[in-house]
Amino acid sequence: MTFRNLKLIEPLLEAVAKQGYTAPTPIQEQAIPHILQGKDLIGIAQTGTGKTAAFVLPLLQLMSQSPRRTIPKSPRTLVLAPTRELAAQIDESFATYGSFMRFRHTVMFGGVSQVHQVRAMSEGVDVLVATPGRLLDLMNQGYVNLNHLEFLVLDEVDRMLDMGFIVDVKRIISKLPTHRQSIFLSATMPHSISELANTLLRHPVRVEVAPQATTVKLVQQKVLFVDERNKTAILLELLRHEDLRCVLIFTRTKRRANSVAEVLTARGIRAEAIHGNKSQGQRTRALENFKSGHARVLVATDIAARGIDIDDISHVMNYDLPVDQVDYYVHRIGRTARAGAKGTAYSLCASHERDALREIESLIRMHIEVMSHSFHSNTARDAVGAAARPPPKQQRGQRRSNENRQNRRQYRSR
Ligand code: AMP
């Protein structure tokens, strides 16, 4: 199968060739013909499957086949995404795949000034990619009018629901013309999501690729049973191996993400942290450092990591298991072993995380290989020195006040 077989037009074929894509991915092969025929579509596909191009390419083609002048405030296509990173990446994809066409597009998300977004809308765009909260805000202020919308895409719907956007999404959809083509993408399709899809779509075609178990099988997974206190020591030991080249580490909280990144940096391992308390500028810089290889490690919380699109992650490390939401495990490890590459995921499992591990194993229907390690309290503490060692009694007060000073400094600099 080639992109030409999918009946894509020349400017799009040129754009995919420029990206070096030789063949469509399974989701592209399945979804593009239906979308080109004007059908509503439900796609069950995860990040890394090529799902973005699966809707961006045919939508660009459909828009070019029924030209319409750009109307201020009134986009033809709206893509809703759960996070700013994902929204920015989708917007970039419109730029990339539409580079030989003349479409105007913009991205809109919260946490930054609305000035540029308002200006872009008043000049007019064909494609608007947005997170729900900011879009609703600008709609309420009268800067966006969706009366003339023709195409709607809801991307990563399961994440949107997890993040509590359902009310905003429904409000936005209530303002759309009923005559439109809609595309609905989600990595998982529990009952609540298929119900929502049924209310929003007309006779949708359903396409599904890479069921979770298949993706999971591509990743070599290992679990290390550890003492909670030794996690940092074990992490440092694992990072001694050079093949851990580009490592994404997940922690349970923002605070833990910061402290892991700080310990690694103090040990000479370049690390960045991204989480919800970082400004957009800080997140972008951290991601750029990681993508360029300047930082070897990125430490993230689940929310912050959503939508991060980095192909080359060699290892995913679960510093903490996702105890409250075990299906995040699948999303996390799916960040590695992308586009046919090899990937490894290590999970550090402390005693309080054993139940979660059992749930994960039943979810993926696999036993995760146990990796032994030599860290038993003393060796571990020796290996990491100050990082994991409880402070000696007489220095404890001093250390606490240093930490407080540092925390205050960080807080001010946010
Ligand atoms: P996505 O699932 O949309 O996040 O895409 C994952 C990655 O796959 C992105 O980096 C795309 O650039 C890349 N990609 C998309 N389509 C293809 C293709 N047909 N061949 C090779 N890579 C692709």
Residue 25: CATH number of its domain: 3.40.50.300
Q: Ligand 1 atom 9: the closest Cα is on which residue?
A: 50
Does the pLDDT at position 116 exceed 50? yes
Q: State pLDDT tens for residues 240-262.
A: 988 888 999 999 999 999 999 99
Return left, alpha or beta for 203; rule: phi > 0 is left, psi -120 to 50 is alpha, else beta.
left
Residues 177 and 228 in one domain: no
Secondary structure percentages of the chain, helix, strand, coil, to 5: 45, 15, 40
Give the distance (Å) from ligand 1 centre to CA of residue 411: 38
Residue 335 has a pLDDT of 80
Chain position carrying tokens 């004007």: 38
Crossing angle for the helix pair 10-18 and 51-65, nearest 10 degrees?
150
Residues 382 and 267 in one domain: yes
Secondary structure letter of residue 148 according to DSSP? T
What mean pLDDT is predicted for residues 304-310? 71
Residues 57 and 180 in one domain: yes
Structural domain count of the chain: 2
> Which of 178, 208, 238 is where one domain is finished?
208
Residues 204 and 239 in one domain: no
Residue 100 lies in a domain: yes
Whether the predicted model's global pTM rises above the 0.85 cut:
no
Residues 290 and 362 in one domain: yes
> Which of 176, 208, 240 is where one domain is finished?
208
Ligand 1 neighbour 339 (Cβ under 6 A): yes
Residue 213 lies in a domain: no
Residues 269 and 315 in one domain: yes
Ligand 1 neighbour 307 (Cβ under 6 A): no
Calpha distance 309→335 (Å, rounded): 8
Please report which helix (H) or strand (E) contains residue 51, including its range. Answer: helix 51-65
Q: Ligand 1 atom 11: the closest Cα is on which residue?
A: 50
What mean pLDDT is predicted for residues 57-63? 98
Ligand 1 neighbour 309 (Cβ under 6 A): yes
Residues 145 and 226 in one domain: no
* Residue 232 belongs to domain spanning: 219-412
Does the pLDDT at position 57 exceed 90? yes
Residue 214 lies in a domain: no
Which ligand 1 atom sits closest to the C-alpha of 93? 12
Which ligand 1 atom sits closest to the C-alpha of 309? 4
Does the pLDDT at position 402 exceed 60? no
> Which of 150, 180, 208 is where one domain is finished?
208
Return left, alpha or beta for 278; rule: phi > 0 is left, psi -120 to 50 is alpha, else beta.
beta
Residues 310 and 170 in one domain: no
On whether the CB atoms of residues 233 and 381 are closer than 8 A, the answer is yes
Residues 202 and 229 in one domain: no
Return left, alpha or beta for 293; rule: phi > 0 is left, psi -120 to 50 is alpha, else beta.
left
Ligand 1 neighbour 204 (Cβ under 6 A): no
